[in-house]
Structure 1
Amino acid sequence: MLEIANEYLQVKISTAGAELQSIIRKDNQLEYLWSGDPVFWGKKSPVLFPIVGALKENTYQYKGQSYQLGRHGFAREMEFEVTEHTATSITFNIQDNDLTLLKYPFPFSLNIRYSIQDATLMVGYEVQNMGDEAMYFSIGAHPAFKVPLANGTTFEDYSLHFSDPETAGLWPLTPEGLVIPQPNPYLDHTTELPLRKSLFYKDALVFKHLASTAISIRSDKTPHGLTVHFPGFPYMGIWNAKDADFVCIEPWYGISDHENTSGKLEEKEGILTLLPEQIFQSQWSAVFF
């Protein structure tokens, strides 16, 4: 377990999946990250790469060949190397190997950098195409934040607060995690979505191209909460394992397959393209109060 810290935050990260393990604000001693209770969901903040969500029948085609890849890809199951570590920042790296190339035929390098400034945690992704052909990929975050956060509060005491008024459809998912092609009306010029566990009984709430660049988890019953900033991310998933005490706010560059997908990787909605030696960079951050 590795740590970065300053006068405001203490953050712990594992080399397994480069996954966040703990976020504590020092002045109030609150833990903001989900415990990872395996009865509900054993992860805490997996990194989603080289796909986000599910593939139809866990399969895609590229150059006439079929490949098998599980939901959210393989990075979350890999052991990362630490390439830089200071008191307030740490960078992790994985690259392609013989096993990844069987599932995903692209040479790549993925850096994940965690850094803190005051009460803000910043998470940066850097993907480089190390091959000599175009590379297709997606990447996303899946942090699970503890709700209820403060003692004496309940899950239903909290709401999601959008940074901008939202009128947005909800893209429902099949039992296999595939996107149904037509959205359902959901948010109607609102900045608040009260939390209740039944919201997630049919899987994640999936949105496309929100107006907002930040979502907060707050309650009128405590001054403590958090705000996730995700400028540039085109897709957003909000999720809770059934009846668990957390909410995931998931900025994505990518999305699950549609029910009627062609299966061709280069035609997949939300897929990103990197030419040889090109580098993709993105960042999300969270402020804890």
Structure 2
Amino acid sequence: MSKQTSGQAYEQPFHDEPALWLTWGNYEAAVLPNIGANLIAFRDTSKQISFLREPAAEEMEDFRQRPVLHGVPLLFPPNRYEDGTFTWNGITYTFPVNEEKTHNHLHGFFSDATFIVEDLGTSKTESYAVLSITIDENHPIYSYLPHHFTIRIRYTLSEQGLLMHVQVHNIGTNAMPCLIGFHTTLNAPFDPNSSHEDYKFTVTAGKRWELNERMLPTGQTQPLTAAEQQMKTDGVSPFFAAMDNHYSAEPHNGRNQMRLTDTRTNTTLVYDAGTAYKQWMIYNNNATPGFFCPEPQLNLVNAPNVALDTDKMGLVTLEPASIWEETSRFYVI
């Protein structure tokens, strides 16, 4: 590590779980290689602020069993797939039905997968960690996604906040569907001295997708309520109504963002998700204060089973040797 830096990159447990830690200035972050390369912490240590929902020490076993409601879990494929199956490009994919009430597959296979640490270090401008997972015939996930591919995530911490660079590289001989999203789980309030009533958020959502009783898109859209319109303008409480809602993304001023503001301290967390993500899920645990999830997704929920334009749905074909990538950033203003 260079002596010129103002940051560190090191290995140290997060509670009882192996973790990679990055620091830079007042920022601190932690990543869990053995639990989906999950960005489990992003903090401002000078103000004792934790922006992401973190499991407490006594919650770690429950977290390992259900890792999608803390930190920034990787979903591949994201959200729900009807009866756990779809046919794409002549291949039928069959996933376990793990949500009994809807008889769907939910959230994919990577949120609890083990990633390898490719690099961990610092430079004059940042601290960073690079993690990857490669799927081939010898990996258990191959039975569900029969392709040879690598997912690589580079986390960079600097004075500009935390950058996530995500890359999916098809290193096989057949085209594959690229279905990816993140179940980003934010504290609201993130400041321990504030109340959830001090918080409002905006998001660059477009139209709300109509969902059927199985939480699957019908292909139709619905008009936004007055409160949902406020999500797009001057902001609204993250808990204005129970939300497990799916929206198209509609970038504003060239950016695809969620902004969460503590009106008491006039502090805003910006989550710039990147314009490649064509959809948002917004989930708030039945309007229960404490946390909510603005989830960027490349593809529409259940996209291979929906008869819509593939570009509109964000249903991406990754040809052999091709790379899909996008960056997202957390920063504070």
TM-score, scaled to structure 1: 0.86
Give CA-to-partner distance per residue, 1:225-279, whole Å, 9 cap, x none: 30011231211222222315112222211121269737xxx99942211111111
Residues 36 and 111 in structure 2, CA contact (< 8 A), matched pair in contact too: yes
Compared CA separation, residues 98 and 27, structure 1 to 2 (3 A): closer
In structure 2, the residue matched to 1:193 is 235
In structure 2, the residue matched to 1:235 is 279
SS class of match (2:218): coil
Q: 1:170 aligns with which of 181, 185, 208?
A: 208
Give the letter aligned to residue 248 of structure 2: K
- Mapped pair 1:43 → 2:62: no
Q: 2:189 aligns with which of 137, 142, 148?
A: 148
Give CA-to-partner distance per residue, 1:177-204, whole Å, 9 cap, x none: 31132222114484133115352x252x
Map 1:1-289 onto structure 2 (within 5 A): 1-15=19-33, 16-36=35-55, 42-49=69-76, 51-62=77-88, 63=90, 65-68=92-95, 70-87=105-122, 88-96=127-135, 97-162=138-203, 168-186=206-224, 187-188=228-229, 190-197=232-239, 199=241, 201-203=242-244, 205-212=245-252, 213=255, 214-232=257-275, 233-242=277-286, 243-257=288-302, 261=306, 269-289=313-333
Over the matched positions of the two proteins, sequence identity in percent amounts to 20
SS class of match (1:131): coil
| Mapped partners of 1:259, 1:249: distance in 2 | 23
SS class of match (1:101): helix
Q: Which moved more, 1:37-46 or 1:246-255?
A: 37-46
Compared CA separation, residues 65 and 140, structure 1 to 2 (3 A): closer
| Mapped partners of 2:45, 2:93: distance in 1 | 49
Compared CA separation, residues 136 and 202, structure 1 to 2 (3 A): same
| Mapped partners of 2:31, 2:238: distance in 1 | 29
Compared CA separation, residues 34 and 71, structure 1 to 2 (3 A): same
CA positional deviation for 1:48: 1.3
Structure 1 runs (4+) deviating above 6 angstroms are none
| Mapped partners of 1:107, 1:56: distance in 2 | 24
Residues 210 and 222 in structure 2, CA contact (< 8 A), matched pair in contact too: yes
Higher RCO (CA-CA < 8 Å; seq separation 6+): 1
Residues 282 and 295 in structure 2, CA contact (< 8 A), matched pair in contact too: yes
Residues 137 and 273 in structure 1, CA contact (< 8 A), matched pair in contact too: yes
SS class of match (1:28): coil
CA positional deviation for 1:116: 1.1
**Number of residue-to-residue matches in the alignment:** 280
| Mapped partners of 2:303, 2:145: distance in 1 | 20
Give the letter aligned to residue 316 of structure 2: L
Compared CA separation, residues 118 and 184, structure 1 to 2 (3 A): same
Residues 236 and 251 in structure 1, CA contact (< 8 A), matched pair in contact too: yes
CA positional deviation for 1:42: 4.5
| Mapped partners of 1:29, 1:273: distance in 2 | 43
Structure 2: which 5+ runs fail to align? 1-18, 97-104
| Mapped partners of 1:268, 1:231: distance in 2 | 16
